[in-house]
Structure 1
Amino acid sequence: MKEKNKFKFKSLKELEKKIEELDLDIPIIQNLDFLKEEIKLGSRIIPNRLAVHPMEGTDANMDGSPGELTLRRYRRFAAGGAGLIWLEAVAASEDGRANEKQLLITESNLDSFRKLAVMMREEAKNKFGAEHNPYLAVQLNHSGRYGVNNHILFHHELSDKSAGVSPDQEVMTDAELEQVEDNFLRASKLVKEAGFDAVDIKACHRYLFSEALAAHKRKGIYGGSYENRTRLLKNTIKKVKANVEIDIVVRLNVYDDIAYPYGWGTDESGNMDLSEPKRLIRELEDLGVKIINITASTPYLKPYINRPYDNSSGLGMETDEPPIVGVERLIKLTKFVSETVDKCLVIGTGFSWLRKYAAYAAAGVVEKSWADMIGFGRLALAYPDFAQAIIENNCLDKKKVCVSCSKCAYLKAYNKASGCVVRDSKIYVPFLKEINN
């Protein structure tokens, strides 16, 4: 990262000047009332337009139940005032787990997830009153090539290398993928039993369902044509919708930034081509998906696309692209999705790099109807009560915001409990020292 591209804005005017200088479409307004508004979703009232993104903590118990630090994190999120809390990636089956510290929902540990949902609602009610009932979504995932068994749908040199997949690794069979659909159905029933509002069929960051969208070179009913490549996601949604009375939401890669025929939403040169994503987004809405949460690319190849940062923290993924350009890209993708759907709620992403000024861009995006809600991930780890600060103080405290140092991602990459080493140092610096020692 070139030094001149790093965050150095000492005032909102300096940020606005840089936006104008680079001719970027990042709306900035100081009226944060747009973020404080309630929003209706079916019979549910979401208390405000602010959401906590799914951020893995790598701190589950061996059986997949929430660990001590997991509970601490979600207690703090619930007490932080966000209208929507999107639970991090929860494996739908043991073989889809990323590592032994990832959450996994099963019949035997269901009660722990039930207690987690109750705890979050009670924490929010005790802090903000009975009227404040956060909408709770659980992200179900199969980690695919980035999981314990390196399950792949096809070979791709760059992706294989990033995941440590050998050239002779066998691809998953169609029968195995059909079983994945049924595993997600079973897990969705458990999410419903645990008392959550929604289940996310995760299709982003090149995990299994996301990789399926790019399976141009795969043979069989889950590869090749558009219909085949979207089959895994749409079949799973249909099965859940037909059998479980729960809202279905999707965190979706709008594009991969990987060239065709190994990428989604790109052409042969790797340029953005959103014709297929647009078609899928419309179909997801027709299938009854309630919320689409925007993201792009993969943290294993181009993390600066999905989380613009100043520092990759030694993960070897530096870029000369100014992070603010990455912020604008995600805003444009959010706008694209909002203009594609009619009823589905859209959650925007990519604001954390803006630090204390993030709320002003978030409000600008909501005011323009480019998003219905705004999600924060890294900033939520650093500043779990960010929503309360926006709602009550009309600003974010510069001493509490994320500084985009990527240390949380660094901890996760080494399967250590992941959190903010800057703002929550007493808890997470010891894990950082374990790596460095």
Structure 2
Amino acid sequence: MAAHAKFRLRTAEELRDEASRLGLEIPYEEKTSVLLEKASVAGRSVPNRLAVLPMEGADAEADGAPSEWTFRRYRRYAAGGSGLIWCEATAVRRDGRSNPGQLMLTEKTLDGFGKLADEVRGAAKKEWGPAHRPLLVLQLTHSGRFSKPEGTPNPMIVQHNPYLDPLHGLPADYPLVSDGELEEVRDELVAAAELAAAAGFDGVDVKACHGYLVAETLAAFNRTESRYGGPFENRTRLLLETVRLIRQEAPGLLVTCRISAADTVPFPFGFGMDPEAPETIDLTETKALVSLLARAGVGFLSVSLGIPYWKPHFGRPFDEPVPGGKPPKEHPLEGVARHLRIASELQRSSPGTALVGAGYSWLRTFGPGVGAAMVASGRTAVVGLGRGALAYPDFAKDLAARGRLDPRKVCTTCSLCSHLLRQGRRTGCAVRDAEVYGVS
């Protein structure tokens, strides 16, 4: 493990040299045309292999409907040319909102979401022509232990966790969510999926990452006498039941998940960790989950890592932590390599599932070269940017036009977008879109 360092790479050769010095495998391909080729994702045609990953904007109306700020972000993504636009976390009920500005899909807000889907498609068509139709996925969630619907913590927890409970000062007798309440959330996820179909989305994501409610059930080793805790079959039950019910009730809708391949919280309080070495990632159960999801009809997955409130560098390698945070005791390129290694291992274990990879934003202009090498070698199907897309919504357009990204437009991994979100403020890139999101 090397010391943390900021991005200083000027050429692909320097990237290769730094990876070699650190003993890391970072594949790289000069030609990035493979990313611009049409592809099939879960039987649907997508214009290219580039994705906008879900990043919350915290800019919804009070009732959860998209605001003009929401429309602005997604119009920019659509005009930017990415083939897959994975819309951000959208609550299915008020107590599951992560902040008062989180999107929420209900009967009342359905028209707003329909307008959002229409405007995304309209902006893409206007810029790229009628043949360019991005795949549009809406991420559905309950924020669980990280719920703050009124701006203050209101956790719904699946189990007590000595690593995560202290984040909100939860006492040992804080009540756990009941099985019946979990089933209510399941049914509301299904109902919201039906609304998403009515609004015109191509698919929905049952969010199962980053420690939120569904994800926490995957790690509920210590939840006893429950249908949703203990053995693997029980811990995967809520997610699989939800997926199957959505496919039953909305048969024309694609169903996918964004999963954390590993929580990075030590076993037995985190998913994807080694029972024999509790702080070490072990993908045994993750591979089994991907296989079960495939059998349930999930043809593509977005793969993330970690819990942002625990050790954020696992999910998003960065130059700067959020204000007041500390840099990790590893080089960001180690975090990038971890993302690539995990995506490769999962893709190879489930070749019939199209994996959407993450962790590319820290690479700046070298992200497409690394992504192209991953796709060309069959180690991932689609390359996604989260923070990178907030900063540079037209990254796909520039890559198509110039064969490279503009270094003046890339994400600087300064963590200010995360800072804005944690403050409950409207969230975007404070560097590249400073007139709207500048931090004072």
Does TM, normalized by the shorter one, top 0.5?
yes
Aligned to 2:241: 235
Aligned length: 431
- Which has the higher mean CA deviation after the structures are superposed, 36-45 or 12-21? 36-45
Aligned to 1:197: 202
Aligned to 1:210: 215
- Are 2:51 and 2:86, in contact at CA under 8 Å, matched by a contact in 1? yes
Aligned to 1:260: 267
| C-alpha displacement of 1:307 | 0.4
Query: Kindly tell me: are residues 3 and 420 of structure 1, through their superposed partners in 2, closer, same or farther at Cα, counting changes over 3 Å?
Result: farther
Aligned to 2:414: 405
Task: Confirm or deny that 1:78 pairs with 2:78.
Answer: yes
Provide the secondary structure at the position in 2 that maps to 1:79. Answer: helix
Provide the secondary structure at the position in 2 that maps to 1:211. Answer: helix
TM-score, normalised to structure 2, is 0.96
- Are 2:3 and 2:331, in contact at CA under 8 Å, matched by a contact in 1? no
Mapped partners of 2:53, 2:324: distance in 1:
22
Provide the secondary structure at the position in 1 that maps to 2:174. Answer: coil
Alignment of 1:167-316 (within 5 A): 167-219=172-224, 220-245=226-251, 246-268=253-275, 269-316=278-325
- Are 1:302 and 1:317, in contact at CA under 8 Å, matched by a contact in 2? no
- Are 1:260 and 1:267, in contact at CA under 8 Å, matched by a contact in 2? yes
| C-alpha displacement of 1:392 | 1.4
Provide the secondary structure at the position in 2 that maps to 1:5. Answer: coil
Mapped partners of 1:315, 1:289: distance in 2:
40
Aligned to 2:109: 109
Aligned to 1:135: 135
- Are 1:83 and 1:135, in contact at CA under 8 Å, matched by a contact in 2? yes
Mapped partners of 2:45, 2:292: distance in 1:
25
CA RMSD in angstroms, aligned pairs only: 1.4
Mapped partners of 1:237, 1:4: distance in 2:
40
Provide the secondary structure at the position in 2 that maps to 1:172. Answer: coil
Provide the secondary structure at the position in 2 that maps to 1:29. Answer: coil
Provide, for residues 380-422 of structure 1, a one-character-per-residue CA deviation record: whole Å limited to 9, x for no partner. Answer: 0111000011111100000000000000000001100111111
Provide the secondary structure at the position in 2 that maps to 1:250. Answer: strand
Provide the secondary structure at the position in 1 that maps to 2:164. Answer: helix
TM-score, normalised to structure 1, is 0.96
- Are 2:3 and 2:329, in contact at CA under 8 Å, matched by a contact in 1? no
Mapped partners of 1:113, 1:164: distance in 2:
36
Task: Confirm or deny that 1:152 pairs with 2:153.
Answer: no
Task: Confirm or deny that 1:361 pairs with 2:370.
Answer: yes
Q: Which amino acid aligns with 1:260?
A: F
- Are 2:51 and 2:382, in contact at CA under 8 Å, matched by a contact in 1? yes
Provide the secondary structure at the position in 1 that maps to 2:195. Answer: helix
Provide the secondary structure at the position in 2 that maps to 1:66. Answer: coil
| C-alpha displacement of 1:3 | 7.9
Q: Which amino acid aligns with 1:332?
A: R
Mapped partners of 2:41, 2:320: distance in 1:
38
| C-alpha displacement of 1:301 | 0.6
- Which has the higher mean CA deviation after the structures are superposed, 270-279 or 156-165? 156-165
Query: Kindly tell me: are residues 366 and 426 of structure 1, through their superposed partners in 2, closer, same or farther at Cα, counting changes over 3 Å?
Result: same
Q: Which amino acid aligns with 1:91?
A: A
Mapped partners of 2:292, 2:274: distance in 1:
21
| C-alpha displacement of 1:164 | 4.2
Provide the secondary structure at the position in 1 that maps to 2:138. Answer: strand
Gap runs ≥5 in structure 1 = none
Mapped partners of 1:163, 1:195: distance in 2:
38
Q: Which amino acid aligns with 1:307?
A: R
- Are 1:145 and 1:165, in contact at CA under 8 Å, matched by a contact in 2? no
Provide, for residues 90-124 of structure 1, a one-character-per-residue CA deviation record: whole Å limited to 9, x for no partner. Answer: 00111211121100000011000000000000100
